[in-house]
């Protein structure tokens, strides 16, 4: 039986993208290939907020006690090795049983599964088939992988996804691709990989979700979108406001919605911020 290193497993409302408002189980796995320390910082600077938290990491013995951050990656504890002891290795059997426990009817109805991170398409691709084939997961119809769009799917996982999707009528697979712009602090050539994302479209729906704070971000997002289109990408493009905390989100949301409208693109909210203050487990 496979195991996954699980940062968080919780039930909430999907706050972003195509499934905004849909009751969802979130499986947040540990590990990421990026750091995104530039979010919320002046260009060229990196956030130090997590450094202060890491200094006193011994004070926290539960993921939910960790402070939220206004700059850098808002899910820092899902990949920073200094917090990895807060993410247990769980068998797929244990994960499936815990999912049943948190679902309101103790089985799948209209809820969808979000596999997020960190970056969920790193090494864990080999473990998902065991989880999704678990008898308790048979009623699941819709899955979203929330990815940064840099990881190719392995041949085995591609075969598995085709099989999973076609085994039951109405099943859907979605790749919600939050491609990282320069405001994240990551390099363009590492982050904008159109050929990788185009391949996701073979297995279901893929869309791009750009986090925007400024007009410079908007311009980079439009440049990236045209690179994806040139490579053959057909999916929707969303603009989403930066803001893991409400004060930052409130400053940005309306202007980002207006930017999206102006360019005929979709706007994605981050419902978890106004609804739940983006606390862990939401």
Q: Which parts of this chain interact with ligand SF4 (CB under 6 A)? A: 32, 34-36, 73, 75, 79, 117-119, 148
Min CB(124)–ligand SF4 separation in Å:
13
For the record, the structure tokens of 244 come out as: 């893991």
Given the complex with ligand SF4, which of 57 and 103 has the nearer CB atom? Answer: 57
As a whole number of angstroms, the distance between CA 69 and CA 67 comes to: 6
User: Residues 100, 102, 105, 111: what is their CA dihedral angle, to the nearest 10 degrees?
Assistant: -90
Rounded distance between C-alpha atoms, residue 212 and residue 40, angstroms: 10
For 159, residues 6+ apart whose C-beta sits below 8 A from its C-beta are none
Give CA separation, 210 vs 15, 169, 217, 240, 280, in Å: 15, 31, 9, 6, 22
The CA distance from 106 to 127, in Å, is 23
Structure-token pair, residue 22: 């849909």
Nearer to ligand SF4, 145 or 164 (CB): 145
Beta carbon of residue 281, minimum distance to ligand SF4 (angstroms, whole number) = 16
Nearer Cβ to ligand SF4, position 76 or 164?
A: 76
> Which residue, 117 or 241, has its beta carbon nearer to ligand SF4?
117
Shortest distance in whole angstroms from residue 187 CB to ligand SF4:
13
- Is the CB of 160 or the CB of 184 nearer to ligand SF4? 184
Q: How far is the CB of 83 from ligand SF4 (least distance, A)?
A: 12
Cβ 229 to ligand SF4, closest distance in Å? Answer: 22
């Amino acid at each position: 039986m496979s195991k996954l290193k699980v940062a968080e497993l919780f039930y909430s409302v999907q706050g972003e993208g195509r499934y905004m408002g849909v009751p969802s189980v979130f499986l947040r796995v540990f590990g990421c290939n990026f750091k995104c320390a530039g979010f919320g910082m002046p260009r060229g600077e990196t956030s130090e907020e997590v450094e202060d938290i890491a200094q006193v990491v011994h004070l926290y013995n539960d993921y939910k006690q960790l402070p939220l951050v206004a700059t850098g990656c808002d899910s820092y504890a899902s990949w920073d090795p200094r917090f990895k002891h807060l993410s247990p290795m769980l068998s797929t059997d244990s994960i499936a049983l815990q999912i049943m426990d948190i679902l309101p009817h103790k089985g799948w109805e209209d809820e969808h599964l979000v596999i997020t991170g960190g970056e969920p398409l790193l090494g864990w691709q080999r473990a998902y088939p065991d989880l999704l084939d678990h008898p308790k997961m048979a009623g699941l119809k819709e899955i979203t992988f929330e990815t940064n769009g840099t990881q190719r799917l392995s041949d085995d996982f591609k075969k598995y996804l085709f099989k999973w999707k076609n085994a039951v009528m109405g099943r859907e697979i979605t790749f919600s691709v939050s491609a990282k712009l320069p405001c994240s602090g990551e390099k363009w050539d590492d982050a904008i990989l159109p050929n990788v994302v185009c391949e996701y479209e073979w297995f279901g729906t893929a869309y791009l979700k750009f986090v925007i704070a400024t007009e410079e971000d908007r311009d980079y997002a439009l440049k990236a979108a045209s690179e994806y289109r040139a490579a053959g990408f057909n999916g929707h493009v969303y603009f989403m406001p930066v803001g893991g905390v409400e004060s930052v989100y409130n400053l940005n949301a309306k202007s980002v919605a207006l930017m999206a409208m102006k360019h005929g693109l979709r706007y994605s909210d981050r419902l978890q911020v106004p609804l739940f203050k983006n606390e862990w487990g939401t």
